[in-house]
């Protein structure tokens, strides 16, 4: 039996190649953790931030893309 995480908590970020967002609620606060897959099975967690508006901050998205690129470059060796 395969179980899936609802998109509310784990979704692909449109316009990116393989970057996902994990949503975590703690009390009244909402946190986002950027993540991506390594070899299809391993979920690698990148940077996280507290989301206070509907729009994802551009600097956080750029940081996540840089982390993903550095990780992929390191493990292609």
* pLDDT per residue as tens digits for the range 31-51: 999 999 998 788 999 999 998
Q: CA of 24: how far to CAs of 33, 48, 51, 54, 74, in Å?
A: 8, 10, 10, 15, 28
Q: Is the pTM of this model over 0.85?
A: no
Structural domain tally of the chain?
1
Cα(first)–Cα(last) distance of the chain, in Å? 36
Measured distance CA(43)–CA(60) in Å, rounded: 19
Domain containing 32: what range?
10-75
- Residue 71 placed within a domain: yes
Does 14 fall in a domain?
yes
Residue 19 lies in a domain: yes
Q: Assess if residue 5 is contained within a domain.
A: no
In a domain? residue 37 = yes
pLDDT at 77: 58
Residue 67 lies in a domain: yes
Distances (CA, A) of 58 to 15, 61, 64: 13, 5, 10
Residue 2 in this model has a pLDDT that exceeds 70 = no
Cα 61 to the chain's mean position, in Å? 9
30 inside domain: yes
């Amino acid at each position: 039996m395969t179980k899936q995480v609802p998109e509310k908590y784990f979704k692909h970020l449109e316009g990116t190649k393989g970057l996902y967002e994990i949503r975590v609620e703690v009390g009244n606060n909402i946190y986002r953790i950027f993540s991506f897959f390594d070899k299809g099975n391993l979920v690698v967690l990148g940077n996280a931030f507290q989301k206070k508006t509907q729009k994802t901050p551009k600097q956080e998205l750029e940081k996540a893309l840089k982390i993903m690129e550095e990780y992929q470059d390191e493990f292609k060796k």
